[in-house]
Amino acid sequence: IEVELRRTKDVLDKKNAIFHELKERKRFLRQLGFCSETDELTFKGRVACEISSGDELILTELLLDNFFSPLTPVQLAGVMSCFVAKKPVGKHQHTQLRPDMAQALETIKAKARSLARVAIECGICYSRGSSDPINEKSDDIAKLAAQLNNWMRLVADEQACVDQFSGHLMEVVRAWAEGVCFARLREFAPLSDGIIIRCLRKLSGLLRQMHNAAKVAGRTELGNKFLE
């Protein structure tokens, strides 16, 4: 009986922890305006639900801030690489960015820092395990809350959230979008062909999602630019 009682207590504790975690995430989403006080998706939340291959919340914030609107398709490709290319592990050669790419990277980092601060204020713990029990929820808010998992696991604190955006492939992807042959892309950064190919494949999927997100946001012209 004692064994069964302990097991029951463990199950209840786990469920309570999951419920508490979901409440924290919903609070975070409400604070940012992705859902209402009655846990209904807002306009911003519906836009974010179109994105799953990158940092959904940061990308949605930037999209609605008109950050992407003045960029050319070539610039967009370079900027979007920040959201699909992981920061290199260990020491790596610093990539010299052109002024427009450097400015865009600083804007992305500033937005990441802003969201990280809100998350910390809402009590979200980034060091939680890799399990994803919230994925079993069926409502839209729970799905959006569950999408935070990838973002949350990347960061341990505010600075780590900012540092994940290194921009080390911005010039490589921009050169590819400008029509530079693949054999010459490594001239822009000392990276293997495999890393570049994986980045371009992921980028293709994310650009399609951004096209859909822009359409939901009523930015049809911008949405088409993501596919050019």
* DSSP reduced 3-state for 79: helix
Phi and psi of 23, rounded to 5°?
A: -60, -40
State yes or no: pLDDT of 203 exceeds 60.
Answer: yes
- Residue range 54-70: mean pLDDT, rounded: 94
Residue 158 carries which side chain, given as an amino acid letter?
E
Tell me how far apart the terminal alpha carbons of the chain are, to the nearest angstrom.
Answer: 66
* This model's pTM is above 0.75: yes
Q: CB atoms < 10 A from the CB of 134, how many?
A: 18
State yes or no: pLDDT of 130 exceeds 50.
Answer: no
User: Domain range holding 102?
Assistant: 1-226
Residue 89 carries which side chain, given as an amino acid letter?
V
Q: Tokens 């042959």 — which residue? A: 181
Instruction: Give the single-character DSSP code of 41.
Output: B
- Name the more confident of 117 and 21: 117
- Residue range 208-219: mean pLDDT, rounded: 96
Residue 146 carries which side chain, given as an amino acid letter?
A
- Residue range 208-222: mean pLDDT, rounded: 96
Number of domains, the chain? 1
- Name the more confident of 4 and 99: 99
What CATH number has the domain bearing residue 125? 1.10.3380.30
